[in-house]
A and B are shown apart, each in its own frame.
Chain A
Amino acid sequence: MLTVENLRVVYHDVISVLNDVSLDVKAGEILIIIGANGAGKTTLLRTVSGMIDFYDGDIIEGDIKMEGVSIRGLDATDIMKRYGVTYVMEDRPIFWYLTIEENLKAASFSRWNKQIKTDMEKIYDYFPVLRPQQNKKAGYASGGEQQMLAIGMALMTRPKMLLLDEPSLGLAPLVTEELFDIIRQLNRSGITIVLVEQNAHAALNIGIRGYVFETGRIVLDGTAQEILENEDVKEFYLGSGERESKSYKDAKRYKRRKRWL
């Protein structure tokens, strides 16, 4: 469905963030991307969704293709409208000062029509906690509700592919679990999902395939199961490797990279 070829992205013309990233997303799967902070996961999502311009980033090499057609350089709105790619930004991208209902309406701006009402009902069915709070300002909702609202808003755009950026950020484990359940449900209903996560264990458990990012490169790819079982991943992301005492000194990136490459 989505192919990224040799992508190279810089911010402010100097800060290189993605180097030669190539990956592909197959229709109907849940793709997990994990990696440390600053590895370029978010940048990848921004680039795919066409938002990179806004952050003063440039694609200096490579191409992004949606079903074989290049979408490089298209506006975020165009990508969303034509290819149904919706990007759910990290840290609950909701409009704090609008009510929950208005939030959902705002998200459906690009496809305003009669079906909005029924779609909204559907969202409320998905996330029953939102229904009683319709007229409450979104900023006052709890973290979990906000994240659900964010996903609900993304659904209002009728996406074919959802790019989720750390949906579990700052949520309680139980809420995270609930959220991942919902993501799995969405996937079953036919939406392709690209999930960027720090909570690697939970993510990999629902994922089908995965990539591991490290300083702007893909260092590992494979099925979710393979990644889960990788020693390094276990050690650095899942925290359940060998029981030796580890200090931060050992966690230096270049050492690990040596082992991987």
Chain B
Amino acid sequence: MIDLLQTLGSGVLVGLVYALLGLCIVIIFKSSETFNFAIGEFLIIGSFLFYTLFFNETIPWYKALQLGAVIFLFFSFILFYDKNLRLRIALPLGMVTGFLIFCVFFFGLKLSSLITSSFLRFAIAFPLGLLAAGLFGAMVERVTIKPLLGRSPIAMTIVTLGLGFFLRACVQLIWGSHAYPFFLDLPDITVEVGDLLFLSDPIWAGIISLIIFGLVIAFLFRTRWGLAIRATSEDQAKAMAFGINARFILLLVWGISALCIAVAGIMISNFGALQVSMGFVGLRAIPVVLIGGMDSIGGAMAGGILVGICEALAGAYVEPLGLVGFKAVAPYLLLLIVLFIRPYGLFGTVRIERV
């Protein structure tokens, strides 16, 4: 019994992280009917941005310069793109931001020398890293997805595939591809009751993922911007006709998505180390969203937890029977069963039909 509890518990904790991954796919899918295959690369880049801030890691000047230049170009691009306006704002803002990014990455944030408490350091670097990740996601959307707005969603999906390869190569160029040590040193909250043992890291991962999940949902369902996102998700043309800037909303969605992926990436990296090849974790989102339903936010949560539990159960009860490696297949088996019964996933939208 305790055994089962243990397995289920650890499954749920990891499942919460998967749910967050699923959420990132779902919100992008809802707003642009695109499946973001570059999720793994978003995960790595988000984690690396956080890593750079948190561990006071600096990168060589020419790479920092490149990053700064890219950010500068982005800002110029994003603002110049609006043909009529904002010429005067774009240039200085881009320059200032580019310079700041350059400074941060070249000199480091020096957080560790300023703040001794690792938890406080985390509390400062975490939002900053996430902000950077979100900005990065927005930038990617602007450059690759926006030009395709109004075209077939398949086109965008294919673009994300190519984007994945490109970004992976970029990460390898800037950070190399070996494993980076990753210790968040969050307060130890290990739960140990008798035989029951839950480690501190997965608990933190579960809690933080849950919080971020809740924040995103609150944002979507409680704020005006969230309403605009939901409206745009339904129909971009209608939203535009009612004065919602669908292009900006898409940018926002990609930003939020990249931010959430970064959270998942940081939490998963904290289990071990940060490495380019950890990007495959992002593909866990596929069974998660397909089980939960491609367009259901609640489904992402359910799918994530189901996949987590399924993996844990398979690992704990099926593998010892001699089916070695079954754990990696189990979520897909579950997916197959779910799709047989409900082709749109467990919580996939049932189309509204008027009677």
Contact = CB atoms under 8 A, between A and B. Distances in A.
A–B touching in complex (CB under 8 Å): yes
A110 interface: yes
A51 interface: yes
Nearest to B243: A110
> Which 9 A-B residue pairs are closest in the complex by CB-CB distance?
A110-B243, A139-B352, A106-B231, A107-B242, A93-B238, A80-B243, A77-B245, A76-B240, A95-B234
A71 to B, nearest CB: 10
A interface majority secondary structure: helix
Contacts of A156: 242
16 contacts: A54-B240, A74-B84, A76-B243, A77-B244, A95-B238, A98-B231, A102-B227, A103-B231, A107-B242, A109-B228, A109-B231, A140-B352, A143-B354, A153-B242, A156-B242, A157-B243
Contacts of A137: 352
B88 interface: no
A30 interface: no
A94 B234 CA distance: 9
A28 B247 CA distance: 32
Contacts of B243: 76-77, 80-81, 86, 107, 109-111, 157
Given A97-B352, A107-B243, A89 B238 contact: yes
Interface of B: 82-84, 149-151, 224, 227-228, 230-231, 234-246, 349, 352, 354
A7 to B, nearest CB: 19
Interface in A95-142: 95-98, 102-103, 105-107, 109-112, 137, 139-140, 142
A56 interface: yes
Nearest to A73: B83
B236 A54 contact: yes
Nearest to A112: B224
B249 to A, nearest CB: 9
Interface in A72-91: 73-78, 80-81, 86-89
A21 interface: no
Contacts, number: 99
> Interface residue tally of chain A, by bracket?
35 or more
B234 A98 contact: yes
A107 B234 CA distance: 13
A236 interface: no
A75 B249 CA distance: 14
Contacts of B149: 54
Contacts of B83: 73
B242 A106 contact: yes
Contacts of A112: 224
A136 to B, nearest CB: 11
A241 B265 CA distance: 72
B234 A97 contact: yes
A78 B81 CA distance: 14
